[in-house]
Chains A and B, each alone.
Chain A
Amino acid sequence: MIGFISYLVNGISLGSVYAIIALGYTMVYGIAKMLNFAHGDVIMIGAFVVFSTVSGAGLPPVIGVLISVVACTLLGMAIERIAYKPLRKASKLAVLITAIGVSYFLQNVALLIYGANTKSFTSVVTIEPLTLADGALVISGETIVTVAACIIIMIGLMTFMKYSKSGRAMLAVSEDSGAAQLMGVNVNSTIALTFAIGSALAAIAGVLLCSSYPSLTPYTGSMPGIKAFVAAVFGGIGSIPGAFIGGILLGVIEILGKAYVSSQLADAIVFAVLIIVLLVKPTGLLGKQIQEKV
């Protein structure tokens, strides 16, 4: 029983990281209607910035994380401005291929700077682990911080979307960008803001991911990026609570699958669950069903 609870806790911790990444994914998808394949690589860049500033330059972790968030925010906005903005009216596939190109680009920039060797990432979390049930259940500091960060970010985002002017502009653009523009919403700057927020979240996710799983290579972000995309689809792409629920569920399924079925089949189980959910509910758990008009 204790074993199960400890797996569950690990699953929620990993799921929280997926949820943070998926929040960025889902916001970008909701507004720009594009699959940002480069999102996973922004995570990797975020982790590398912390690696350089904290392990390399010896700055305190808090400053390192702040620098990383700022760097990724700027990076996200730059990517949007250079690669995606010219293609706003292009076909979806063209944008997808561009995003793949950006993803290759970021991976190879990291490869040039840091090399292909796996870097061991020093955790930025300094909180003592929590010991419960007479030492049978240990919850690491990383887990506590990750879950807390995820909940704070989700609540923060929902409040931002509901009550702030720019948040409501985002909702309007995601609903109907043409109509939003007619109502005086600056669509371009709203999209840029979305990318900025999404990339900032990616930086945080990267740091948290590498604090729990401390190996860092230029390809670290690729698989979590895909998993987060799966999480976003799982919960209903475009929906913020959906991304949160999808992320947590995905993490729990993955860790439980690893523990009880087979460590090699864990990914297959995650994908199988996604397929089943989509076949039963084609727009995800919390997705909106859009009626087709003739």
Chain B
Amino acid sequence: MNGMKTKTHNLSRTTKSNIITYGIVVAAYIIVEIFLRAGMVSSLLEGLLVPLCMYVILAVSLNLTVGISGELSLGHAGFMCVGAFSSAFFSRCMEEMIPAAGIRFTLAILIGTVFAALFGILIGVPVLRLKGDYLAIVTLAFGEIIKNVVNVIYLGRDSRGFHISTKDSISLGLEQGGDVIIKGPQGITGTPNDSTFLIGVVLILITLFIVINLINSRTGRAIMAIRDNRIAAESIGINVTKYKLLAFSVSAALAGTAGVLYAHNLSTLQAQPKNFGYNMSITILVFVVLGGIGNIRGSMIAAVVLTLLPELLRGLNDYRMLIYAVILIATMIFTSSPGGQEIQERIKLFFERKKTKEA
């Protein structure tokens, strides 16, 4: 027992903080599982578990771009879209060839992630030359382009191989018994439902592991140096383009992973404004900012709380989104305005005084 104590004392502060972060995820998983087993979770909440994992991964990965790399990206949903469609396409094609769901889904996750990473590099190379609001609008534009292009793709398969068209499913000219896999705006139907809460939690842990290790590495410090002062970082020999691109594409790849989770949680996958449009990117950005820019644990908590909040407010029906909006504005004013910070200071002082009185 005594030995344990000294051991934890020897751990550095960051290691301790990281263990807490992983611990929160594992603890949350165990608690939810206990409630599930006891039958105390409503079906509505049960259906939210996989989306919750997805939002957590999205928030943590966007925090890498916005918080650590300091680039405002509004196109995160686009990368998610790439991951979702590439992996759903793979799963649909391989459903008969690889019957084992475990192997197929693992491969699907890898494919979705790799494709999103490739798009991250492709988009990152031209885009990362821009700064601030210009970068924001161009990433938004790329996200919208991805969504729009996915909506006009028709892809079918028959004995002669794959056929692609941008007009309609008839112009694919499939043989008898051919199968249209991507049906333009109707998207992909019949994707196997492989996503489970456990896989979601495992993916969160992997995401955390990648992001946390990246941040605490030499690479991560280089990325943060660029964020804090690009010119100074450049002058001490840090390759700005390389590190910016690295952060951006890792973030895109992880968004792709979240997309895989999303695609395999639904039987019909369609690219719509509400799931892959800029509104989704903004929703994720709200998680990141409210959770604390650059704070990984904060992003996780904000993603969970803000996804559950509208559901918990469901009793208020039509007013719930209105209340959500008011809470959003009030939180920002409370945390970021001089008046709000003063109130925070006073509250802190009040509690400190109480403590000293008691002592």
Residues A97 and B328 in contact, CB atoms below 8 Å apart: yes
Q: Nearest Cβ in chain A — how far from B82, in angstroms?
A: 15
Contact A101:B329 (CB < 8 A) given known A90-B336, A229-B137, A268-B148? yes
Contact A97:B332 (CB < 8 A) given known A86-B337, A268-B145? yes
Give the contacting residue for A226; candidates B133, B185, B278, B328; CB below 8 A: B278
Residues B318 and A111 in contact, CB atoms below 8 Å apart: yes
Question: A102-131 interface mask toward B, CB cutoff 8 Å, 1 = contact, 0 = none?
Answer: 101101110110000000000000000000
Residues B148 and A226 in contact, CB atoms below 8 Å apart: no
Residues A104 and B325 in contact, CB atoms below 8 Å apart: yes
Q: Nearest Cβ in chain B — how far from A28, in angstroms?
A: 12
Residues B293 and A100 in contact, CB atoms below 8 Å apart: no
The stretch of A10-18, A59-67, A150-158, A272-280 in contact with B is A272-280
Q: Nearest Cβ in chain A — how far from B176, in angstroms?
A: 29
- State in angstroms the CA–CA spacing of A87 and B142 once bound together: 30
Give the contacting residue for A282; candidates B130, B279, B324, B329; CB below 8 A: B130
- In the bound complex, residues from chain B placing their C-beta under 8 Å from that of A111 are 318, 321
- In the bound complex, residues from chain B placing their C-beta under 8 Å from that of A29 are 133
- State in angstroms the CA–CA spacing of A233 and B329 once bound together: 26
- State in angstroms the CA–CA spacing of A230 and B326 once bound together: 27
Contact A279:B137 (CB < 8 A) given known A90-B336, A93-B66, A94-B332? no
- State in angstroms the CA–CA spacing of A171 and B138 once bound together: 27
Residues A275 and B138 in contact, CB atoms below 8 Å apart: yes
Give the contacting residue for B338; candidates A89, A98, A101; CB below 8 A: A89
Question: B253-282 interface mask toward A, CB cutoff 8 Å, 1 = contact, 0 = none?
Answer: 000000000000000000000000011001
CB-nearest residue of chain A relative to B235?
A: A294
- In the bound complex, residues from chain A placing their C-beta under 8 Å from that of B126 are 275, 279
At the interface, yes or no: B347 with Cβ under 8 Å from chain A? no
- In the bound complex, residues from chain A placing their C-beta under 8 Å from that of B136 are 35
The stretch of A135-143, A161-169, A188-196, A259-267 in contact with B is A259-267
Interface residues of B in 84-139 (CB under 8 A from A): 126-127, 129-130, 132-134, 136-138
| Interface size class, chain B | 35 or more
- In the bound complex, residues from chain A placing their C-beta under 8 Å from that of B185 are 264
Residues B290 and A108 in contact, CB atoms below 8 Å apart: no
Residues A292 and B231 in contact, CB atoms below 8 Å apart: yes
Question: A71-108 interface mask toward B, CB cutoff 8 Å, 1 = contact, 0 = none?
Answer: 00000000000010011011111101110111011011
Residues B133 and A35 in contact, CB atoms below 8 Å apart: yes
At the interface, yes or no: B152 with Cβ under 8 Å from chain A? yes
Contact A112:B148 (CB < 8 A) given known A89-B338, A233-B137, A278-B134? no
Give the contacting residue for A105; candidates B278, B285, B326; CB below 8 A: B326
Tally A residues with Cβ within 8 Å of B.
Answer: 46
- State in angstroms the CA–CA spacing of A86 and B293 once bound together: 20
- State in angstroms the CA–CA spacing of A262 and B142 once bound together: 18
Q: Nearest Cβ in chain B — how far from A188, in angstroms?
A: 14
- State in angstroms the CA–CA spacing of A237 and B337 once bound together: 26
- State in angstroms the CA–CA spacing of A207 and B220 once bound together: 50
Q: Nearest Cβ in chain A — how far from B291, in angstroms?
A: 11
Contact A272:B145 (CB < 8 A) given known A94-B332, A101-B328, A109-B322? yes
Give the contacting residue for A98; candidates B130, B140, B282, B329; CB below 8 A: B329
- In the bound complex, residues from chain A placing their C-beta under 8 Å from that of B279 are 222
CB-nearest residue of chain A relative to B335?
A: A94
Residues B324 and A104 in contact, CB atoms below 8 Å apart: yes
- State in angstroms the CA–CA spacing of A101 and B136 once bound together: 18
Residues A262 and B166 in contact, CB atoms below 8 Å apart: yes
Q: Which residues of A contact B (CB under 8 A)?
A: 29, 35, 37, 83, 86-87, 89-94, 96-98, 100-102, 104-105, 107-109, 111-112, 222, 226, 229-230, 233, 237, 262, 264-265, 267-268, 271-272, 274-275, 278-279, 282-283, 292, 294
